[in-house]
Structure 1
Amino acid sequence: MKFIFRSVLVAAALSLSSAGAFAQAYPNKPIKLIVPFAPGGFTDVVARILGQKLSVSLGQQFVIENKAGAGSTIGTDFVAKAAPDGYTLVMVSTTHVISPWIYKNIPYDPIKGFTVVTKLVDSPYVLLANPKVPAKNVQELIALAKAAPDTIHYASSGNGSSQHLMGGMFAAMTGAPLKHVPYRGSSGAANDLVAGVVETSFAGVPNALAQVPQGRLKALAVTTAKRIPQLPDVPTMQEAGVAGYEASVWLALLAPAGTPRDIVNKLNSEIAKVMAEPDTKKALYDAGVDPTPSTPEAMSAYMVKEMDRWGKVVKEIGIKVE
């Protein structure tokens, strides 16, 4: 019995030692970071900023791979089914907790199907209009849309996206009959907005900063309760006369369910460090986002609340994907 007991202790010690060695060795090969949106959009910009910094910090390349489609569910499903070894991660947005309310038969559980690593950033969206639209402000846009129903379109990065929901919420709250035009990514939506193919869009701050200062687009309002420093002259939606309208988009880093806690902790710690560096802060500021890293537990709880919140919004405004 003593021999057996001693053997069990040795085996347990070796197991703990192996687990510790594994965590210390992580990462020992490139890490695949899935962005479930098309290149050039809000999430993609942040992924490339952090991927570059983490490649240096962790000594292994972060390979950014865009897998867009179906309201971000295609790329996210890919990660849900990946090995829980820390080498396949996904950067999700608020869309992660919106899509399940809009799409039928999502092939994963948005909460239980993943291990949260950290919250990353928060950002407002901006109501943009092509310069050919005669409206100078939000109230004029609403009046224009009501005077000629279904002639004012709003572009989004796809059905079920944050852009889709923010535009639908705006239309419902103001009574403005805006017509939704979904694209396969925010980059395509932005290109057609600049070209005048569509009249308006609720876009991420990076897209706004790339076009508004040059006069290629007009910024009519931001979606948050406070103005943003990158566009200080642009009013909030509430200042523009849409009482009660407030929304922002967040990004988070997730791993497949069952990813070892040591790996999650290491990623969480490294991300907090690189996001606190001055050059990273500047890059994120220039991209129009606010760094808001968190513990895995805090973000897990926040995602549950956000899923409930946006589910109620979807039901109230009746957004559906056929």
Structure 2
Amino acid sequence: MNFPMHFSRRRVLSAAALLPLAARAQASYPSKPIRMIIPFAAGGATDVLGRDLGQAMTQSLGQSFVVENMGGGAGVPALNTVARAAPDGHTVMFCASGNITAQPLLSKNRVDILSQVAPVGMVASAPHVLVVNGNGPFKSVADLIAYAKAHPGELNFASAGVGGLAHLGTELFARTAGIKVTHIPYKGAAQVNTDLMSGQIQAIFGTMPSFIGLISRGAIRAVGITAPSKASPLKGLPLISQTVPGFTYSTWNAIFAPARTPAASIAKLYEAMQIAARNPTLAHRFDEQGVDIALASPEELRNLVRKESVIWDKVIKDARIELN
């Protein structure tokens, strides 16, 4: 009868002896600068947000973020780099939602992305803006739809690449509105804007930072947004769902770490993200970019990835989208 009590006491003593070691391990993280992989070129919207967030998180973590831009390859090189990194919390990826919820679905050899990377937390959310030529005939979403119905397939929507969220958003818009449009993929945003201003293409979805300068000059016109937002640059823009009921989506930004990163390290990163989100300077910087502060815990982010992956998977299959 005494053996179970003796055995239980030994286990308690052993666990107690390990507590200082675990506490020291958690307290020592991070022990060096954190490598932040961004799957876009320097200067883009995600890059700007990631650098601002890293700087704000540095204040509570006591270690800086070293940003490494890894654009191209539909984000796959960046994902692979993070997935293969040591799972010690010193390599993370700051990405846009499409990198996680859409691009992996286009791979010929599909894998469960959440078996490769671990959610740390979401920090921001923003709608896409639908923009048209500033001197063109389209003044509203209704104008675009009316033209597309009268001229099936003649309305050209551009995107910065096949399978990106702007492309998928275009396909979702066309199907929800019951119209046929032509998708014109580009290899970058700069040429897209040039051709939009010249009238070679008629419309494009994208985030406000890509368009804000051209909108202010009247070179292009914003006719609607894909989801509600409190961000200053988006005030006054109508929801597209007012014209196309049921049409909505957002892009969001989050941090992911290699799978098997210790839960304590992830928790510390998310705590630093929460502290950064309360920083008025960071909130102002995000607002300037047309982005809302929107926090989601690791588990909430995991569920969001699962939910949105189902939505985009259907769009990809319905539109028969494939990467060349």
Whether 1:179 aligns to 2:177 is: no
- Number of the residue aligned with 2:145: 142
How far apart, in 2, do the equivalents of 1:50 and 1:228 lie?
17
For structure 2, list consecutive stretches of 5 or more residues without a partner in the other structure: 1-9
Q: Distance in 2 between matches of 1:161 and 1:16?
A: 46
Q: C-alpha distance in 1, partners of 2:59/2:199?
A: 41
- Tell me the alpha carbon deviations over residues 119-158 of structure 1, each in whole angstroms, 9 at most, x when there is no partner: 1111100001122432122222234445555554323232
Distance 1:51 1:210, change over 3 A: farther
- How do 1:268-287 residues align onto structure 2 when only pairs under 5 Å count? 268-287=270-289
Which residue number corresponds to residue 288 of structure 1? 290
Deviation at 1:223, TM superposition (A): 0.7
Which of 293, 309, 312 lines up with 2:311 in the alignment? 309
Mark the CA change 1:301 to 1:173 in structure 2 (over 3 Å): closer, same or farther: closer
Distance in 1 (CA, whole Å) between partners of 2:183 and 2:105 is: 18
**TM-score for the superposition, normalised by structure 1:** 0.86
Shift of 1:189: 3.7
Inter-CA distance 74–173: structure 2 relative to 1 (3 Å threshold): same
Q: CA deviation at 1:306?
A: 1.8
Distance 1:128 1:266, change over 3 A: same
Asked if the contact 2:156/2:182 (under 8 Å) is kept, the reply is: yes
1:198-209 matched pairs, under 5 angstroms: 198-209=201-212
SS in 1 for 2:296: coil
Shift of 1:303: 1.5
SS of the residue corresponding to residue 245 of structure 1 reads coil
Q: TM-score, normalised by structure 2?
A: 0.85
Match of 1:105 among 109, 112, 117: 109
The SS at the match of 1:47 is helix
- Is contact 1:37–1:69 with CA below 8 Å preserved after alignment? yes
8 Å Cα contact 1:102-1:160 kept in structure 2: yes
Matched, 1:126 2:134: no
More helix by share: 2
Instruction: Tell me the number of residue pairs that the alignment of Structure 1 and Structure 2 aligns.
Output: 315
Deviates more, 1:219-228 or 1:114-123: 219-228
Over the aligned positions, Cα root-mean-square deviation in angstroms equals 2.8
Q: Does the 8 Å CA contact 2:95/2:254 hold for their aligned counterparts?
A: yes
Q: Is 1:236 aligned with 2:239?
A: yes
Gaps of 5+ in 1: 1-6
Partner in structure 1 of residue 5 of structure 2: none
> Residues 157-202 of structure 1, C-alpha deviation per residue, up to 9 Å, x if partnerless?
3221111100111223334443323334445544554465543210
Q: 1:24-70 CA deviation, whole Å, 9 max, x = no partner?
A: 22223221111112333332221121022123332322122221234
Cross-structure match for 2:84: 81
Distance 1:233 1:207 in 2: 18
| Corresponding position: 1:223 with 2:215 | no
1:246-271 Cα shifts (integer Å, max 9, x gaps): 11112221000011111111111011
Q: C-alpha distance in 1, partners of 2:221/2:267?
A: 43
> How far apart in 1 are the matches of 2:228 and 2:87?
38
Contact 1:79–1:88 (Cα < 8 Å) also in 2: yes
- Aligned-pair identity in percent equals 34
Question: What corresponds to 1:33 in structure 2?
Answer: 36
Q: Distance in 2 between matches of 1:207 and 1:70?
A: 20
The letter of the residue matching 1:155 is A
